[in-house]
Amino acid sequence: MWAISMASRQYGFNNTDWSYKRRPCRQNSTATPNKIVVGGSQNWTFGINYADWALKNGPFYFNDTLVFKYDPPSDTNTHPHSVYLLPNLWSFLKCDLSRAKLVASETQGGGDGFKFVLKSWQPHYFACGGGAGFHCNNGTMKFFVMPMFRRRY
Ligand SMILES: [Cu+2]
Helix (H), strand (E) at residue 93: helix 89-94
Residues spanned by the domain of 131: 32-145
Distances (CA, A) of 135 to 11, 19, 75, 85: 41, 34, 19, 14
pLDDT (0 to 100) of residue 62: 94
What is the model's pLDDT at position 14? Answer: 40
* 107 in Cβ contact with 74 (< 8 Å): no
pLDDT value for 13 = 41
> Would you state the pLDDT for residue 73?
95
CATH of the domain at 40: 2.60.40.420
Kindly list the protein residues that place their beta carbon closer than 5 angstroms to ligand 1, a single-atom ion.
81, 128, 130, 135, 141
Q: Is 151 a member of any domain?
A: no
Please tell me the predicted confidence (pLDDT) of residue 151: 72
CA–centroid distance, residue 75 to ligand 1 (Å): 16
Q: Number of folded domains in the chain?
A: 1
The confidence score (pLDDT) of residue 142 equals 98
H or E, element range at 101: strand 101-104
Distance 28 CA to ligand 1 centre (A): 28
Answer yes or no: is 1 within a domain.
no
Answer yes or no: is 88 within a domain. yes
**Backbone angles phi and psi of 83, in degrees to 5:** -130, 125
Calculate how far, in angstroms, residue 123's C-alpha sits from the geometric centre of ligand 1.
21
CA 37 to chain centre: 10
Predicted pLDDT of residue 5: 44
In a domain, 152, yes or no: no
Q: 136 lies in a domain? A: yes
Do the domain assignments include residue 100? yes
pLDDT of residue 120: 92
- The answer to whether residue 150 sits within a structural domain is no
Q: 49 lies in a domain? A: yes
Tell me how far the alpha carbon of residue 1 lies from the centroid of ligand 1, in angstroms: 57
Would you give per-residue pLDDT tens digits along the chain (153 residues)?
A: 444 444 444 443 444 444 444 445 455 555 788 999 999 999 999 999 999 999 999 999 999 999 999 999 999 999 999 999 999 999 999 999 999 999 999 999 999 999 999 999 999 999 999 999 999 999 999 999 999 988 765
Task: Using alpha carbons only, give the angle 22, 140, 34 rounded to the nearest 5 degrees.
Answer: 50
